[in-house]
Structure formats: structure tokens, C-alpha cells
Chain A
């Protein structure tokens, strides 16, 4: 069935940087697109970025384009999100998610606070 474990996150000042990681277990990580999805306090989810199975294609929401970078290490079964030039409205819980027909497997989330 599989499991995703988020790590990283924390607090940053506006303009600062943070890096999120996500470790995958129990499924063939190299065979899936993967995404980052965030959720601001009291709001609905927002898709942030995704990456193709082999890492060759990457797509970003307009709200993070040019500031965030998604990457995937299939040898380490890990997904990453480098977040630069952070803004106040980047605050929220960041989830890694397996990207199939919808997001069918989610990590527990990492809290990012920009203040």
C-alpha cells in the first residue's frame, strides 16, 4: 500500500529559505509522479508542484514558480521541495502526495511558518 513520511519545515523570516523532504516506503517510488500540496490554516488544499516519475519534467503553481524547486531521488526513494524567497502567504502544512488519478497517498505533513 505504501507510506510517505514528511520531514523538514519549521520557521523562516520573509525572504528566507526552507527545505522539505519526503521519504517513500512500500511502493515502487520510481514508477510514480509525485506532488507537493499545501494547506493554509483553515483553508482548502492547494497543489504546489509535481514531478514526473524519472524527474525529467517538473510543473509549478503560478504562486510558487521561480521560488520553489521540486526534486526526486529515486535511488533514495525521496522527494524534496526547496523553498526560497518565502512569503507570509506560504505559511501552512505541506504534504507530499503520490500523484495518480488524484492524490492517493499522503504524508502526514510538515508545518511551515513564515513570520
Chain B
């Protein structure tokens, strides 16, 4: 099983600042990575697929990068609605999720 490790577990950020979230795969997954945002009481929402392609309707302040084993989600100019938990997931070999990064208000 491919293990996805996210860091940090919690990221405290002020509105208007940027946030950088990291996801590492235990073996190469090429660019077969997606990122989700989840708010309390809601299902996850797809933000990024194929490591760097924004899903339909996702604002340009969300960007993804990486390939192989190292991936990054960057949120520039955080808005109040961006405080949430973010998960990465690989679909290179079966489908496994990372443990999540909680982005909260500093």
C-alpha cells in the first residue's frame, strides 16, 4: 500500500497570508495525486487533480505542484472560507489518502 504523509498536521495562518501544505508518497505516484478540502459536516471537495490542475470552479488562489513522491498545495491570500482540513490522495496504485492538514486561524 502506498502511504501518503501530510505535513504539518496543523497550520495556523492569518487571513490574507499564504499557506503551503506538503504531501509525501512512500513510493513514486507520478502525478496521480489529488487534493481535497473538507469542512465540518460536509463531504470532501475536489480542489486539484493530476497534481496541478484545478478542478472546475476552484479559485486561482489554490495551486498544486509536484511529481514522484513530493507534492505541494499552496493557498495564496487565504480567505475566511479557506480554513478547513485538506487531504491529499493518490490514485496511482489503488487509492489512499493522507492524514490531513488542518488550516486554522492564527
Contacts and interface: CB of A to CB of B under 8 A. Distances in A.
B57 to A, nearest CB: 9
A107 B43 CA distance: 7
Given A45-B44, A45-B87, A107-B43, A102 B34 contact: yes
B22 interface: no
A26 interface: no
A102 B49 contact: yes
B63 to A, nearest CB: 16
Contact of B97 (A35, A47, A107): A47
Interface string B85-100: 0010101001111111
B98 A44 contact: yes
B43 A47 contact: no
Specify which of A50, A61, A106, A108 lies most central, judged by the most chain B CB atoms within 10 Å of its CB.
Answer: A106
Contacts, number: 47
Given A44-B97, A47-B94, A106-B44, A101 B34 contact: yes
Interface in A15-73: 35, 44-47, 50, 59, 61
Interface residues of A, number: 19
A11 interface: no
A101 B90 CA distance: 10
A46 B34 contact: no
Contacts of A109: 43
B26 to A, nearest CB: 16
B100 A95 contact: no
Contacts of B82: none
Given A47-B95, A104-B49, 20 more contacts: A35-B95, A44-B97, A44-B100, A45-B87, A45-B89, A45-B97, A46-B97, A47-B96, A61-B94, A95-B43, A101-B34, A101-B49, A102-B34, A102-B36, A102-B46, A102-B49, A102-B55, A104-B46, A104-B55, A107-B43
